[in-house]
Every structure is written in structure tokens, then in C-alpha cells.
Structure 1
Amino acid sequence: MKSTFTSLFWIFLFFLKLDGLEAQCPTQNLPTTTNKGKFELDFKGTKYTVDGVATNKITVCTNSTFTVTDKSGRTGIYYYFNTTRTAFPAPTANYILATNRTFTTPATPGQYILIQVSYNTTTRTVNAYVCQPIEVVAPTINPKFTVSSCAAAQAQINIPTDPSNDFDSYTINWGDNSAIETVTKAQIPLTAKKHTYTNNTARTITVTGKKAGVLCDGISTQGVTPNGRSVSPTLFSLTVQDNDTIQVRYIGGNYSFDFYQKWGADNFRIVKNITSSTPALNTVKIAVKDADKEQYCYKVGITDACPRTTFSDSSCTIPLQIKALDKRNFLKWKTLTYPKFISYRIAKNTTTNFKTITKATTDTLTDRPTVCGTTYSYQVVATAGTVQTLSRTISVIGVDSTKPPVITNILVSVEKEKVAITATIPTTQKVKTYTFYRWKNNKLESFNAGGNGNRVVDDKSSPNTQRECYKVAYENGCGIMSDTSSAFCPSYLTLEGVGIKWTEYQKFPLGLNAYYVEKLDDNGTILTSTKVDKNLKFEPDPATIDPTNPIVKFRVKALSTNNLVSYSNEVLYAQKLLMFMPDTFTPNSDGINDIFEIKALFVKNFKMRVYNRAGNVMFETEDYKTGWDGTYEGSTVPIGQYFYEIIASDHKGETTKRVGRIEVIY
């Protein structure tokens, strides 16, 4: 025996389980009956006196308690629990010092024994001994109940009518040290019995069923973790998609969602239920009638098991009506009357924040000015609390009864020997059709009427032979025709003497910057460009004559102050014929001045004859590069005077006749 037990008497309660066997007490040889121990066992008010070694068993229930009180009058009483043994267990471990003791029975039914001993730790002898077999039995039936976790740290139980619930009364232990509650048989079925906890810590709820004449009470337990706070649904947005459909967006979760709708004078009523959804944004569509005129209000509710229903903020749709009036659009919508109203935001076309209104009772907006024929799209987005409400996007076409302004920006230019006309309208106008006019002899001749393009080429124009002028009118988006514009004319370029001249360009809206004379080759490549400011004439500089180009083209470029360009017609400019004839030559074959040769530029056609004094033809040629070598019929002519006659024409077709004399010297 360990020293810790010195000077003590031990009484041990030995509580043993015997698998499938009756409980048996081990024998302990004591000298006389005076050495017997004695105790009283109290189970549910029934008291049993035990002394010596008992053979009868006492029946108790699982998960219950009984009390042992010493009746031996001895000191140092110890109790001992352990499995049954055929030999007396030596008091060396698992001993409990207690004169009186309350014990809890195990949860497993079975056969057990209870031993009380008195032990002298000094002499290491047992002075008293008593043993009692005990049978632990389970209840024949346990109560049935359900438990639900609720918001706001609540839980509730339901005890239904059931064959398992055949008890006279019940007790409910909520597992939080609160008072035990009693329920009578008459209160069954017990529905939605609620209990509020101080926090959301996990608890174990125990329901005990008691019945007269039944030894063991039925006991059932269930765990519960009450919700710490109420779960509120979130209505995110309402959108009128079309006249028959409203889209509701909400924050979902593992709950049952009820969608409440209010229309006209009706109260809110459930129109749709969603049993579960994702925790993110969810979308549901609700069929309605005439959403463009009728206002529908919505809120979302979540009902828990208690049942407790929490609601989202509510909001209503915004039926939007738009009328296109003269130079303006008129918007009207149904307002929101909720105290959480924040603003109306008007979206126009691609501008999401065209106008913001913070007064809840405002229900109209006039948008001006509008352009005839232009499409305008509007949407009203209202914010109330956490909810956005979006009207349907409605489009109208702008209306304007005013006659559209006259076109003042028209560009006319010669392109490939035809006149191209480009009309640019004011940005505030929408064009349906254009009508182009030729302006000749103060008369209008329409062409390309009713087209929708702002640029045409007049195939019947003749800008190389005359000045061409044009006017333009247009029909706006509302079908109203503008007045005809003033006349616009490209410059008309002609030859004049040794130069060129042209008419004034009519007209650039922002004025003329300068004219440029451009010289082109036969391929249209610009050879030179000469700025002549606002002059209307130009003479080429003889120093710039290119002997390789007897013919060049000229055109005039008109440049506006804002860099618009108009070209005139092109003219052919032939270089003036140039010839040089010597008055003597020496055909003596010394290689010096042996040939009577004409020096010429820009000759297209040429014919020359040489005569003697008798008028006989000595030489003739049609190539100015072929000269006379001073012979006639193979013989050298005599010295003296001879006469020539030259007829030549240039590339313009102008003919030049020259006559003169030439001296032959040897």
C-alpha cells in the first residue's frame, strides 16, 4: 500500500461491468460479522440498506445518479469502482475517499458491483467489507424532438405526437445553466418552444421523459448552435426589361427567398419563391403586365425555421414616358416615395450621368435643344437605400418644325475634267436627302435630287470650256426642305497671250488664303508650284523654259484659310516657237561653219527652201535639224547671195513664216 494511504480507513466503491454475466461479489475472509461494512443506497427516492456480501441485485438506470451513505459508523470510508473480480482487489489504486458519495451511472447498460471497505493503512488490514451487485439498465424508450437554430441567438424545439413520446411529463435542459423547464403531457405536441441564449456558442439540449411506474426516464440530446444575428436579404436592383418583364437582382444564399410584389392598391403578396441560390448576385425575372405604365413595388423576405421573417429594403419600378416635341424631348416618370430615396439619375445616349435629381417628388425633365431626325435614348436610374431601380431605355426621334438653315459650306473642285461638289451641313442638322443644282444663266437645273450622299460628281459638267456653278439644298430629318444655297464655282482657267488667267473661286466660307499655279507634266506630276497670292493672272518666267517640254499643263489651286483645297480645270500651254538663222556660211569642208543650219525650239512642223537669184530651188527640207551643205545636184554652188523661205508652226498650231538671205563664202 502506498504511503499516501497511511493512517486512513478505506471504503471503496467498486463499480464493475460484467459482459453478459450477473454481477458477483468477490469473497473476503473477515473474522466475524462485526467486520461487515454497511451503507444505504438511494436511487430515485428508493433506499436500499446493504451489509455484508449481498447476492440480490439493485437495478438502476443509465445516465442517472444514486447516492451512497455510510451506515457502518466507521471512519476512513472509501469506495472503489472497477471490473468484477473473483479475488478481492487490493486497495492500491482508483480509491475514492468519501463517507457519502453520489455516483453517475454509465451510459452503457450492464452488470456492475459496488464495494465498500474499511482499511487501516497503518496495519494494512481491511477492517470492514460490504459488496452489492448492481444492474444498470437503459430506458425502454427515449423521447423524440427536433431542434432548429434561429436568428438573434435563438433556438426552438418541437416535441411531436409520436409513439416514442408516451410520457407523463418532460423536462427541457437548454444546456446553458438556465432553469429546467417542465412540459406536461397535455402540452404535446409542443410546437416552436423557443429559448434565447446570451451568445451563439454551441449547446447541447436534453429532453427527459418521465412516466409513472417506469424505472428509467427516457433521455434524448441534440446539439445546436444558435445564429448570432438576424440574416437580412438584400434587394440589389429592379429593371424594367420590356413591357411584360421585370428583372430583380438580389444577393442570394442558402435560404428560402420569397419575392413580394405590390401593384396598385394591393398589399404586398408573394409572387415567387426561390429555395436556394448562390451567395453572389442572382437574377430572377417576373412576368407583369403593362410595365411601361404601371408601377410595381418589390421586396425580398427570408423566413427561418423559428419562423422569423426579415425583409430587404423595398423599391418600385419607374414607368418612363417620353414625348418628342418641337426642339425638345419631354420625359415623365412615376416617382419613388420611400424615405430612403437618394436620387434620380438620367442617362442619355452614351452619357450615363446626363442629369442628377435629388428631389424625390420631381417627375419630369425637358431636354432641349434637340436636332430634327436624331435618335435620343433615355433611362431613369433611381437609388433608394441600397436598391437601384432602372426604367426601360426608351428612344425617340427629335422633332423640329423650323426650316433648316441654308448650307454655307460647299466645296467645288475639278476632278478628272468633271466638277465634284461636296456639301457640309451644320452639325446641329440631320439630313434625309440632298438636291444639287447647276446654276447657269441665272437658272437652276437640278440633278441627283433625293440622294442621301453629301458629295456628287456632275457628269455633264464641262469645266474646260466654261465656268461651272452650283447650288445645294437639303431635306432634314423632319422632312422640311432648306432654302437653296448661294452659288459656288471653281476657278475657270484660260490662256491669255504668253500667260494664263482664271476666275475667282466662289467661295470659301472662311475666306481665301492664296492661289497656287501648278505646272504638270503629261502624267499629272507636279513640276512646279508657284504661290501667286490672290492674283488672277500668271506669266511663266522665260528663264524657266525647259527645252525638253514644248507643252506643259497648268492648273490653279485655291487654298482657304482653313486649308480647304479646290482645283481649276487644266490648260495646255505650248512654249512659243523660237528660231535662229545665220546670214553666212562657208561650205569649204574645213569643218567650220560648213552647213547652213537653223537653230530652233518648240517646232512641231517645219519646211525650208533655198533659192538662187534666178529663183531656182537649190535645197529644201522638212526637218529643221537638216541643214544645206552649199551644193546643188552634187556640185558646189558659186559664191554669192542666196535666199531662204521658212514656214514653221509650234505645238499650239501657230504658223511662222520667215524669209531672208544667206551669203555663201569660200
Structure 2
Amino acid sequence: MVFDYGSQDSFYVKLYLTNQLCTDSFGQWIKILNLREDIDTARIILATVENNQHIKIYWQKLNLAKQYLLQRSENGSDFKYWNYTTDTLFTDQLADVQNKSYYYKITGIDDCGGRSAASPASRTILLQAKVIGEEDAAELSWNKYEGFGENTKHNLLKENNLAYSTSTENAFTDIDYFDENLLQRFYVMEAENQAKTLKSLSNEVCINYKPRIYIPNAFSPNNDAINETFQVKTTGIISYEIKIYNRWGELIFSGNQSSKNWDGKFKNATATEGVYFYVFSGKDITGKGFYRNGNVNVIR
């Protein structure tokens, strides 16, 4: 048998058969199909934060690849071997999505160990936020998604994944950050490719509103439609209970965040004008307790 090598991926095999009377031969060119770095390049389709817990990476299938090598970097240059898989997707459970952005590359490997060129790196989005002043605004910053090419659109999402702002920059100041009807504000950054067929999400940023409690020191339930009820107002408080006592320590009213305000009545009768004592207890969304007590004047 004789081997005659031609190009890098092909060779000619010739087989000779002989006996005492004659000789015969048969030849055939054989082409080797393998992955080559100068021809084949892997491509990541999408890298995205999923469920605000981990990162999901999807890539294009290479026909000759039997497995794939996934590499990860935190700075875009020092890539480490991260995982070998036969699938075309991977969930990075070890990613710290609240504090870091990651770069990923994928390489195809065939049965003979031949490799494709590594894909261009794709980078996930890290969104960060801080409050300015006394909750005057929220300052948000992020790195841009890398992997969709030119004309990547970035949308800042608020509650219910509604687009709040579209930006070509890396920062945004939300002057409408505060809402007295909410306990906290959520933000997510979304990157969208030009064809609007792929979206990569950042981590979710949640800012708890600073707990504030307003308890009036007087009200006048006299049917003049002005300051008729004793009304507690809060922001950043998830639940509370308030109790009002008369000067003899008798419980006159008990309420919470869901009940009606005190209308100045006790046992369906008009409460006496004068000074009453209240005790307030509540907690914020983290479970921290808040306590207040003081006087309230009923004015007729």
C-alpha cells in the first residue's frame, strides 16, 4: 500500500495486488474532513443573564464539531478554560451576575482533536445603580453588550419589563425614580440586536425606598371636609399597626396599612375632644422594625 499526500486535508491511497502471474492495483483519493482554524470559526448567538441568578450562553452548531470548549474572562483578555460540552448551550451557575460582567468565547473540536477558530467574544451586561441625595433620583450605569455587532439597541426597563428609556450611552439619571405608591424600584437593562430577534438582559437592580413615617398630631372630624380623619402615611414600609388609646389607657382605635383611617368615633359614637395617645409599629421590606409613639389631638 502506497500513500501519496496531496493537500493538507487529502491523500491518495494505492493498493497493489500480486501473485506469481500478474500484478493489479487500485487507487483512491481520500479527503479528510476536519475543523481548521483558518477556515472554520465558531459563533456565539447570545449570552444573557437568566432569572437574575446565572448566565445562559447559546452558540451556533458546527457540523464537524463533536464537542465545544467554552472559555470565560472577567477582563476580556485572560480567558480560562471553563467547560467542555457536546451541547450548543451552557448555563454558567458560578457567575456572580450582581457584581461582574463576563466575556465568553466558544471553540469547536472534532473527533481527531482538530479545532475551529475561537468565536469573537460576547460580553454580558452588568447594571449598577445608586440613589442621589434624599431619593431625588437614581443614577444608573452599565457596560454595553458585546456580541450583536453594530446598531445594538439598549433599553432600560422598569417594572413589568416596560421600556423606560433607550440609550446609546453607558449611564442614565432617573429623576422619576421615586414613587410613593411603591416599596422599591426595579431596573433591568436590555440589549437588542438590529433585527430585533435577540435580546440579552442584565442583572436586575432593586432599590428599596428609604422608610418614612408621617403621623399627624391633630385632626378635626367636624364634617367640614377638611382634615376629617386620622391618616398615617408611609413610604418604604411594607406593613404596620397603629393603636390609639384615651387618657385612661382604653383602646379606642386599631388599624393597619389596609384598614380605613380613624374617623374620630368610638363604638359608633363621637369620641370626646382632647388628647389621645398612639403606638405605631411597622417593618420595611427587609424586615427591619420601626416604632413610634406620641399624642394626637381631636379637635371639634
Q: TM-score range by the shorter chain?
A: 0.5 to 0.7
The reply on whether 1:510 has 2:149 as its aligned counterpart is yes
Residue 530 of structure 1 aligns with which residue?
165
Could you tell me how far 1:562 is from its partner in structure 2?
A: 6.4
Residue 496 of structure 1 aligns with which residue?
130
Taking a change above 3 Å as real, the CA distance of residues 590 and 500 of structure 1, as seen in their structure-2 partners, is closer
Asked if structure 2 preserves the Cα contact closer than 8 Å seen for 1:554 and 1:571, the reply is yes
Match of 1:539 among 158, 174, 179: 174
Residue 457 of structure 1 aligns with which residue?
91
Residue 418 of structure 1 aligns with which residue?
54
Look up the equivalent residue of 2:188 and give its one-letter code: R
Larger of the two Rg values belongs to structure? 1
Q: Deviations over 1:91-122 (max 9, x none)?
A: xxxxxxxxxxxxxxxxxxxxxxxxxxxxxxxx
Asked if structure 1 preserves the Cα contact closer than 8 Å seen for 2:35 and 2:109, the reply is no
Residue 241 of structure 2 aligns with which residue?
607
Q: Deviations over 1:280-299 (max 9, x none)?
A: xxxxxxxxxxxxxxxxxxxx
Q: Give the fraction of aligned pairs with identical amino acids, expressed as a percent.
A: 20
Look up the equivalent residue of 1:326 and give its one-letter code: Q
Could you tell me how far 1:555 is from its partner in structure 2?
A: 1.8
Taking a change above 3 Å as real, the CA distance of residues 656 and 567 of structure 1, as seen in their structure-2 partners, is same
Residue 436 of structure 1 aligns with which residue?
70
Match of 2:8 among 326, 332, 350: 326
Look up the equivalent residue of 1:420 and give its one-letter code: K
Structure 1's unaligned 5+ residue stretches are 1-321, 332-392
Taking a change above 3 Å as real, the CA distance of residues 513 and 590 of structure 1, as seen in their structure-2 partners, is closer
Taking a change above 3 Å as real, the CA distance of residues 538 and 654 of structure 1, as seen in their structure-2 partners, is farther
Q: How does 1:461-480 map to 2 (within 5 A)?
A: 461-464=95-98, 466-475=100-109, 479-480=113-114
Could you tell me how far 1:627 is from its partner in structure 2?
A: 3.5
CA distance in structure 2 between the aligned counterparts of 1:469 and 1:404, rounded to whole angstroms? 23
Look up the equivalent residue of 1:480 and give its one-letter code: G
Q: How does 1:57-456 map to 2 (within 5 A)?
A: 325-326=7-8, 396-398=31-33, 409=44, 411-416=46-51, 417-424=53-60, 431-439=65-73, 444=80, 446-447=82-83, 449=84, 451-456=85-90
Look up the equivalent residue of 1:663 and give its one-letter code: N
Residue 623 of structure 1 aligns with which residue?
256
SS at match of 2:256: coil
Look up the equivalent residue of 1:513 and give its one-letter code: T
Could you tell me how far 1:623 is from its partner in structure 2?
A: 0.4
Residue 559 of structure 1 aligns with which residue?
192
Could you tell me how far 1:413 is from its partner in structure 2?
A: 0.8
Match of 1:648 among 267, 278, 282: 282
Residue 297 of structure 2 aligns with which residue?
663
Residue 13 of structure 1 aligns with which residue?
none
SS at match of 1:516: strand
Could you tell me how far 1:590 is from its partner in structure 2?
A: 7.8
Could you tell me how far 1:527 is from its partner in structure 2?
A: 3.5
The reply on whether 1:481 has 2:115 as its aligned counterpart is yes
Taking a change above 3 Å as real, the CA distance of residues 622 and 422 of structure 1, as seen in their structure-2 partners, is same
Q: Deviations over 1:323-362 (max 9, x none)?
A: 76226x799xxxxxxxxxxxxxxxxxxxxxxxxxxxxxxx
Could you tell me how far 1:606 is from its partner in structure 2?
A: 0.9
Root mean square deviation of aligned Cα? 4.7
Asked if structure 2 preserves the Cα contact closer than 8 Å seen for 1:630 and 1:636, the reply is yes
CA distance in structure 2 between the aligned counterparts of 1:583 and 1:434, rounded to whole angstroms? 70
Could you tell me how far 1:422 is from its partner in structure 2?
A: 2.4
CA distance in structure 1 between the aligned counterparts of 2:11 and 2:195, rounded to whole angstroms? 39
CA distance in structure 2 between the aligned counterparts of 1:471 and 1:400, rounded to whole angstroms? 17
Asked if structure 2 preserves the Cα contact closer than 8 Å seen for 1:491 and 1:504, the reply is yes
Q: Deviations over 1:558-577 (max 9, x none)?
A: 23456553111234455665
Look up the equivalent residue of 1:604 and give its one-letter code: I
Could you tell me how far 1:581 is from its partner in structure 2?
A: 3.9
Match of 1:519 among 152, 158, 161: 158
Residue 220 of structure 2 aligns with which residue?
586
* TM-score when normalising by structure 1: 0.33
Residue 266 of structure 1 aligns with which residue?
none
CA distance in structure 1 between the aligned counterparts of 2:271 and 2:8, rounded to whole angstroms? 102
Asked if structure 1 preserves the Cα contact closer than 8 Å seen for 2:35 and 2:110, the reply is no
Taking a change above 3 Å as real, the CA distance of residues 471 and 399 of structure 1, as seen in their structure-2 partners, is closer
SS at match of 1:570: strand
Residue 50 of structure 1 aligns with which residue?
none
Asked if structure 1 preserves the Cα contact closer than 8 Å seen for 2:155 and 2:163, the reply is no
SS at match of 1:530: strand
CA distance in structure 1 between the aligned counterparts of 2:128 and 2:288, rounded to whole angstroms? 17
Q: How many residues align?
A: 271
Could you tell me how far 1:414 is from its partner in structure 2?
A: 1.9
Q: Deviations over 1:588-634 (max 9, x none)?
A: 5788755322244664211334467x795765635043434546798
Ranked by relative contact order (alpha carbons within 8 Å, sequence separation 6 or more), the top structure is 2
Asked if structure 1 preserves the Cα contact closer than 8 Å seen for 2:156 and 2:188, the reply is yes
Structure 2's unaligned 5+ residue stretches are 13-27
* TM-score when normalising by structure 2: 0.63
CA distance in structure 2 between the aligned counterparts of 1:495 and 1:617, rounded to whole angstroms? 48
SS at match of 1:421: strand
Taking a change above 3 Å as real, the CA distance of residues 412 and 324 of structure 1, as seen in their structure-2 partners, is farther
CA distance in structure 2 between the aligned counterparts of 1:596 and 1:484, rounded to whole angstroms? 68
Could you tell me how far 1:457 is from its partner in structure 2?
A: 2.6
CA distance in structure 1 between the aligned counterparts of 2:167 and 2:37, rounded to whole angstroms? 44
Could you tell me how far 1:516 is from its partner in structure 2?
A: 0.7
Taking a change above 3 Å as real, the CA distance of residues 407 and 400 of structure 1, as seen in their structure-2 partners, is closer
Could you tell me how far 1:557 is from its partner in structure 2?
A: 0.5
Residue 21 of structure 2 aligns with which residue?
none
Taking a change above 3 Å as real, the CA distance of residues 557 and 465 of structure 1, as seen in their structure-2 partners, is same
Asked if structure 1 preserves the Cα contact closer than 8 Å seen for 2:122 and 2:146, the reply is yes
Q: Deviations over 1:379-429 (max 9, x none)?
A: xxxxxxxxxxxxxx987344687666775756311234431112358x9x9
SS at match of 2:146: coil
Q: Deviations over 1:534-567 (max 9, x none)?
A: 2334536258x494x6566432102345655311
Look up the equivalent residue of 2:156 and give its one-letter code: V
Taking a change above 3 Å as real, the CA distance of residues 648 and 512 of structure 1, as seen in their structure-2 partners, is farther
Could you tell me how far 1:435 is from its partner in structure 2?
A: 0.9
Look up the equivalent residue of 1:325 and give its one-letter code: S
